[in-house]
Amino acid sequence: MLDPVSGFEYPEAWVRKCRSPGRLTLVKQGLAVLTSSGTVLVRGFTTGTTAAGVSKAAVLSRSGDVKSVPVRIPCGLVVDVPADAHGGRASGRKFGGDYPSDVTAGIEFVAEAVPYSHGVHLVFGEGVGRFSRDTPRYKKGAPAVSPPALECLHSSVREALDITGLPGVRVTLHIPEGRDIAQQTLNPRVGVEGGISILGTTGLVEPWDDHLTESVTERVASAEHPVLTTGRIGLRYARLLFPDRDVILIGGKIGEALAASRGKVVLCGLPALILRYISPGILDGTGAATVEELSVTPGFAAIAETTLAGFRQLRPDVRVILVNRNGTVIGESP
């Protein structure tokens, strides 16, 4: 059985252990994951998926009441997003799935849609964070909306326009609790103020940060030469770089995964989590607020080289490869 989101093929032994066979349909659909113990854990919706669903519902509700809408999310799946919409106004709450540490789970999104001259015009209102300074990818004052989430928003609203026949629409998105909830996130530390971010590389929230440690470490321990990666972008490029190796998504569980590994190991992915794990104080004295900001400075290459060389001496069995969002290798163990 294949996970359509990650591409991971579940071992038949895991399937046989499943204590809720009826829920395996969710796993096949990509809406849940199966652990080595046979437990099925449901994926949640990202802020980007929730925002897209509520915005689409607001537009559709100009032609009639809406209770839920189908949304094609960045990973290609179509999910049903609940939303209560009437007369151009929609509200919906973010579904957190089985990831209990998701502080944005249950938070309300509100969208208001009014006719516009032509096309899709999105306005990000109260509770949506904005950048307080220029970053490598965003200008100061820009809303904290990732490209995949923004495309999902635009395409969802365009679908609603096609259905309603409207030539154009302006959708204003609010997150009433966003400013307060943002204080429980990393946003204040990375220069995002006034609310939460609208994100979603796949459109789904993985439940394994808290639940899948056992199954992930079991996979690492059973792999002869595993390639460990911290996120979806790293997963994509690690599979391209190492097509014949077992590539395992470990999230932030770098220490646990390395402890479970045997033999030669590759740690591959975006630099932020990896370099912070290797050198927690890597930003000290650099003037950069995040590793991503540091990665585009002239001094990054030298810092990365020194950091990786030191780690190689401590862990000669671990080869580290850092990639950027385009898949270019920007750092590698000597």
Tokens of 289: 């607020």
Per-residue 3-state assignment (H helix, E strand, C coil) for 183-208: CCCCHHHHCEECEECECCCCCEECCH
Instruction: Tell me which residue of 117, 122, 65 sits closest to 88, measured CA to CA.
Output: 65
What is the spatial distance between Cα 23 and Cα 219, in angstroms, rounded to a whole number? 22
Note whether 97 and 43 are within 8 A (CB). Answer: yes
Distance of CA 36 to the CA centre of its chain: 23
Q: Which CATH number fits domain 45-204: 2.60.120.10, 3.30.2110.10, 3.40.50.720, 1.10.3370.10?
A: 3.30.2110.10
What is the spatial distance between Cα 227 and Cα 206, in angstroms, rounded to a whole number? 19
268: pLDDT strictly greater than 80: yes
Three-state DSSP at 328 gives coil
Mean of per-residue pLDDT scores for the chain: 91
Burial bucket for residue 82 (CB in 10 Å: 0-12, 13-18, 19+): middle
Q: Which of 53-62, 110-119, 204-213 has the lowest mean pLDDT?
A: 204-213
pTM over 0.85: no
Region of 323 on the Ramachandran plot (φ > 0 left; ψ -120 to 50 alpha; else beta):
beta
What are the tens digits of pLDDT across the range 115-165?
999 999 999 999 999 999 988 888 999 999 999 999 999 999 999 999 999
- Residue 203: phi, psi to the nearest 5? 100, -5
In this structure, what is the dihedral angle of CA atoms 44, 48, 50, 53, given to the nearest 10 degrees?
-130
CATH number of 212-332: 3.40.50.10720
Domain ranges of the chain: 12-42, 45-204, 212-332
In this structure, what is the dihedral angle of CA atoms 173, 175, 178, 181, given to the nearest 10 degrees?
-140
What is the spatial distance between Cα 268 and Cα 259, in angstroms, rounded to a whole number? 16
What are the tens digits of pLDDT across the range 21-33?
889 999 999 999 8
Q: Where does the pLDDT of residue 114 fall: very low under 50, low under 70, confident under 90, or very high at 90 and above?
A: very high
